[in-house]
Amino acid sequence: MNVWARRGRVWRRRVARARSEIRRRWHRFELVWRRSMQLRVVVSTLALSSAVVFVLGMVLQTQITNRLLETKQTAAVAQVESSLPVLERELTAVDPNADGVPEQLAAALNRLTTSVSGQSTVDSVAGAFDPVLVDGHAAAQRRAQPSAGPIEDVPEGLRRFVERGQLARQITTVERDGTRVTMLAVGTPVGSSTRPLQAYLLFPLTAEQRTLSVVQSTLLVGGAVLLVLLGAITNLVTRQIVRPVRHAAQTAERLADGDLDERMRVIGEDDVARLAESFNEMADSLKQQIQQLEEFGQLQRRFTSDVSHELRTPLTTVRMAADVLHASREEFPPGLSRSTELLVDELDRFEALLGDLLEISRLDAGVAELSAEQLDFAEIVQRGVDSVRAIADTSGVELRLDGADEPVPVVADARRIERVVRNLVSNAVDHAEGAPVDIRIAASETAVAVLVRDYGVGLRQGEAELVFTRFWRADPSRNRRTGGTGLGLSISSEDARLHGGWLDAWGERGEGSCFRLTLPRTPEKTLDDSPLAMPAPQSIAAPDALLATPEPEYGEAELEPEGRDQGPARLSEETTWDGELSEGR
The pLDDT value given to residue 115: 62
The pLDDT value given to residue 546: 35
Could you tell me how far CA 231 lies from the centroid of its own chain? 26
- Beta strand 512-520 with 502-508 is antiparallel
Query: Taking 70 as the threshold, does the pLDDT of residue 120 lie above it?
Result: no
CA–CA gap between residue 321 and residue 517 (Å, rounded): 40
Average pLDDT of the chain?
78
pLDDT (tens digit per residue) in 508-563? 888 889 999 999 988 777 888 888 888 876 544 433 433 333 443 333 333 333 33
**Taking a C-beta distance cutoff of 8 angstroms, is the pair 199, 163 a contact?**
no
Per-residue pLDDT averaged across 324-334, rounded? Answer: 80
Which range (154-163, 296-305, 324-333, 550-559) has the least confidence? 550-559
For the chain, what percent of residues have pLDDT higher than 70?
80
Helix (H) or strand (E) holding 168: strand 168-176
**Taking a C-beta distance cutoff of 8 angstroms, is the pair 513, 454 a contact?**
yes
pLDDT (tens digit per residue) in 475-490? 555 555 554 556 778 8
Higher pLDDT, residue 474 or 281: 281
CA–CA gap between residue 149 and residue 133 (Å, rounded): 7
Q: pLDDT category, 451, cuts 50, 70, 90?
A: very high
3-state class (DSSP) for residue 515: strand
Query: Taking 70 as the threshold, does the pLDDT of residue 61 lie above it?
Result: yes
Residue type, 533: A
What does each C-alpha distance from 441 to 36, 49, 152, 398, 502 come to in angstroms? 48, 65, 100, 17, 15
Could you tell me how far CA 393 lies from the centroid of its own chain? 54
Residues 6+ apart with CB under 8 A from 57: 219, 220, 223
Could you tell me how far CA 268 lies from the centroid of its own chain? 36
CA–CA gap between residue 84 and residue 557 (Å, rounded): 104
Q: What are the two backbone dihedrals, phi and then psi, of residue 401, each rounded to the nearest 5 degrees?
A: -100, 130
The 3-state secondary structure of 320-349, one letter per residue: HHHHHHHHCHHHCCHHHHHHHHHHHHHHHH
Query: Taking 60 as the threshold, does the pLDDT of residue 577 lie above it?
Result: no
CA–CA gap between residue 395 and residue 415 (Å, rounded): 26
- Of 212, 196, 199, 203, give the one whose Cα is nearest residue 170: 203
**Taking a C-beta distance cutoff of 8 angstroms, is the pair 443, 449 a contact?**
yes
**Taking a C-beta distance cutoff of 8 angstroms, is the pair 39, 29 a contact?**
no
The pLDDT value given to residue 179: 84
The pLDDT value given to residue 400: 92
Query: Taking 80 as the threshold, does the pLDDT of residue 571 lie above it?
Result: no
Catalogue the E-assigned strands of 469-577: 502-508, 512-520
Sheet with 130-134: strands ordered across: 147-148, 130-134, 197-204, 179-190, 168-176
pLDDT (tens digit per residue) in 129-152? 888 888 777 777 777 677 778 888
pTM of the predicted protein model = 0.47
- Of 565, 580, 545, 583, give the one whose Cα is nearest residue 453: 565
pLDDT (tens digit per residue) in 278-293? 888 888 888 888 888 8
The pLDDT value given to residue 295: 79
**Taking a C-beta distance cutoff of 8 angstroms, is the pair 149, 135 a contact?**
no
The pLDDT value given to residue 518: 92
- Of 572, 516, 565, 528, give the one whose Cα is nearest residue 543: 565
pLDDT (tens digit per residue) in 225-267? 998 998 889 888 888 888 888 888 888 888 888 888 888 888 8
Query: Taking 90 as the threshold, does the pLDDT of residue 450 lie above it?
Result: yes
Higher pLDDT, residue 59 or 578: 59
Domains of the chain: 3-61+216-240 (no CATH), 82-214 (3.30.450), 280-368 (1.10.287.130), 370-520 (3.30.565.10)
Per-residue pLDDT averaged across 444-466, rounded? Answer: 86
Query: Taking 60 as the threshold, does the pLDDT of residue 157 lie above it?
Result: yes
CA–CA gap between residue 425 and residue 453 (Å, rounded): 9
What does each C-alpha distance from 174 to 76, 178, 212, 351, 468 come to in angstroms? 18, 10, 19, 113, 92
**Taking a C-beta distance cutoff of 8 angstroms, is the pair 555, 532 a contact?**
no
The pLDDT value given to residue 449: 93
